[in-house]
Amino acid sequence: MTPGEAALHVVSGASLPTILTTNRPLRDLSVDAVAALVAANDPPRLFLRSGSLVRVEVHDSGLMTIVRMGEDHLRGHLTRAADFMAETKSGQRHTVPSTPLVRDLLSSGEFPFPPLKGVISSPVVRPDGSILATEGYDPGTQLYYLARPGFQLPTVPDTPSAQDLAAAVNVLREVFANFPFEDAASRAHAFALLLTPVCRPMIAGSTPLAAVTAPQAGTGKGLLVEVASLIATGSTAAVSTAPRSEEEMRKRITTVLSGGQPVILFDNVEMPLASSSLAAAITAAVWQDRLLGHNSKVEVPVLVTWAATGNNLKLGGDLPRRCYWICLDAQMARPWKRSQFIHPNLVGYVQTQRAALLTALLTLIRAWVADGQPPPPPTFLGSFDGWARVVGGVLGTAGIEGFLANQDAMYEGADLETTEWHVFLRALCDAFPDRAFTAAEAAQAARANDALGVALREAMPSAFADAQSDRWSRLLGNAFQQRERRPYGDDGLRVLRVGTSHRALRWKVTAERGE
C-alpha cells in the first residue's frame, strides 16, 4: 500500500472517535480533530515540513513527491480519522468537517506530527554509517523511504574485505568504462556524482553542482547523469532547462525543492550559466521563497544533488567556485557514431542490474566507515568541506584518484566572468593609464569611435553586450561596486574606489592590493 493509499484507508468496521460539532467553540473542535489525526497517524502518513502539513504521494511512474496539504486534502483525512456528528431534533447525524475547522487547523502551524526532510526510493547511508533500507518513516534522518516495485537490496557487508572493495570498484568502473573522460579527475567526479545522493544524510552542509561538459553534442553528458541518478536513487533526475531570468530560476528551484526530488539537472545549458538564485540555493541549508500562487512563504531543506550539462559549459557569477567538473572528450567529429560499447544499452543494463550496482556503491561507503572514516588528501572547495570529507574520503579508501584535481584548469576554461573581467580591466588600464575615472567617464570612453573606444567596447563583458549604450554608466557603476577589490587574472588586476568627484565614485584599476 502506497503512502497515499494508506492515508485514505479506513478498515471496515473500525471504531473511530466521535467528534460532536454542534454548539462547540472552534478551538475545542480543533483540539479533538488534531487528537483524532494523531491517533490515526500510525504508521506516519502525515508530516510537518517547514511548518506546513504535508503528505507523500506516489505517481503512476513510481515517483514520490511531497504535497502540501490543502483544505480538500485535510478534510479527507479528517473524515477517515473520526466520525463528525451534528445534533438535530431527531438525534445525531453524520456531517463533514466544516471549512472554518479545516482552515483553523491549516493556519495553526502547530501539529504534533513528525518532521519530514525528504522522500527517497532507494537506500541511503545515515550519519552513523548505517544503511537506511527499511521502508517507511525513519525518525533519525527524517526521511520517508518507499522502494521501487520489485526492488530488493542484497546483503551489504558491514566490514567489507579488500576483495569486496576491489570487486565493488570494478563493478562500478564497468558502468563508466565507455565514457570518454578527459582526465582522472573527471572519472573520479563521475563516482562523486554517483555517491552524493546515497551519502547525502552523512554530509554536513551543502553539496556542489556537478558541471558536466564536452566540446560537442553526442558525447554522453546527459547519459552520464541519467545512469548515475538511476543507480543512486532508482529514478532519473528532475530535468529542466536553465531559465534565463532570475525570477523564473527562483520559481523553478522552489518547485523542484518543494517536490522533494533527489537529483536536479539543468540540461543542455547553451548560454553562460550565471544565476545568483542558483548560487544561493546550492550553498543554502534551507531555501526560502514565496509559494507560487500563495501569499505565504515556503521553507524547504536543500538535500538535493545538483548537476548541469552543456557543450563547452560556461559559468558566471559565483557559480564556478560552487562546482566540480566532469569533462568528456571523444576526440572525434561525430561522437554519437561511436560503437563497440561494453553495454550498448547502458540504461537498460543499469535498470536490470541496479540492485547489484547499488550494493557495490554501498560497499564503497561501508568500507570507508569501517576503516574509521579517514579524511581525503588535503583538498579545498569552499563552503563544501562536509561533502569533500565524505565523498573524497570514500574515493580515497576505494583507491579512486583525482578528486578535485582539475579545479584550477576548469576555472580558467569555464569561469567566463573572470576571463571577461580580466580582459576588460586590462582595456581600462590602457584607456586610463595611471589615473582614476568615474563610471560615466568609462562609458563615455567606450562610446568613442577612436581606437581606445573600439578596444573598450570589444572587451566589455557579455553582461553588457545587449544593453543600450546610454545604460552603460549605471551598469558599470553597479558592476564596479560589486567587484571592488576582487582580483582577476594571474596579475591580480582589480578595481579600487579612490574617492569621489561631484558625488560620483572614482575608480582605478591596479594590480596592487589596496589598503
Tens of pLDDT, residue by residue over 133-181, are 999 999 999 999 999 888 999 999 999 999 999 999 999 999 999 999 9
pLDDT of 170 reads 97
pLDDT of residue 437: 93
pLDDT band at 111 (very low <50, low <70, confident <90, very high): confident
Closest C-alpha to 214, from 338, 97, 101: 338
Q: According to the model, what pLDDT value does residue 503 have?
A: 85
Amino acid at 36: A
Is 231:175 a contact under the CB 8 Å cutoff? Answer: yes
Q: Which residue has the cell 503512502?
A: 3
What local confidence, expressed as pLDDT, does residue 291 receive? 63
pTM: 0.81
pLDDT confidence band for 259 (50 / 70 / 90): confident
- 290, pLDDT greater than 60: yes
pLDDT score recorded for residue 415: 66
- Contact partners, residue 189, CB within 8 Å, separation at least 6: 210, 324, 325, 326, 402, 403, 406
What is the average pLDDT across 502-510? 90
Instruction: Provide the pLDDT for residue 489.
Output: 81
pLDDT digits 0-9 by tens, 314-353: 887 788 889 999 999 988 888 888 888 899 999 999 999 9
Query: 190: which 3 cell numbers?
Result: 563521475
Instruction: Record the cell numbers describing residue 239, joined without a space.
Output: 530535468
Start-to-end Cα distance in the chain: 67
Cell of 163: 576483495
Please give the grid coordinates belonging to residue 154: 542484497
pLDDT at 272 over 70: yes
Question: Between these two residues, 181 and 513, which has the higher pLDDT value?
Answer: 181
Give residue 20's pLDDT. 94
pLDDT of residue 463: 72
Give me the mean pLDDT over the 451-471 stretch: 84
Predicted confidence at residue 13, as pLDDT, reads 44
| Per-residue pLDDT, 434 | 82
Q: Which residue type is seen at 310?
A: G
- Strand ranges (DSSP E) for 273-372? 286-290, 297-301, 305-311, 323-327
Q: Give the pLDDT of residue 393.
A: 96
Percent of the chain with pLDDT over 90: 61
**Whole-number mean pLDDT of the chain?**
89
Identify the band that residue 515 occupies on the pLDDT scale cut at 50, 70 and 90. Answer: very low
Phi and psi at residue 137, to the nearest 5° = -85, 135
Is the pLDDT at 292 greater than 70, yes or no? no
Rounded-to-integer distance, Cα 439 and Cα 433, Å: 15
Is the confidence at residue 132, as pLDDT, over 50?
yes
Do the beta carbons of residue 280 and residue 183 sit within 8 Å? no
pLDDT tens string 26-72: 999 999 999 999 999 999 989 998 778 999 888 776 678 888 889 99
Q: 440 pLDDT band (50/70/90 cuts)?
A: very high
CB 45 within 8 A of CB 6: yes
Q: Is the peptide bond before 43 cis (omega within 30 degrees of 0)?
A: yes
pLDDT at 514 (0 to 100): 43
The residue that leads in pLDDT, 434 or 265, is 265
In DSSP notation, 404-447 reads TTTHHHHHHHHBHHHHHHHHHHHHHHHHSTTS-EEHHHHHHHHH
Give the pairing of strands 437-438 and 52-58: unpaired
The answer to whether residues 69 and 60 touch, using CB atoms and an 8 Å cutoff, is: no
Amino acid 414: pLDDT? 61
Q: Which helix (H) or strand (E) holds 94?
A: strand 91-94
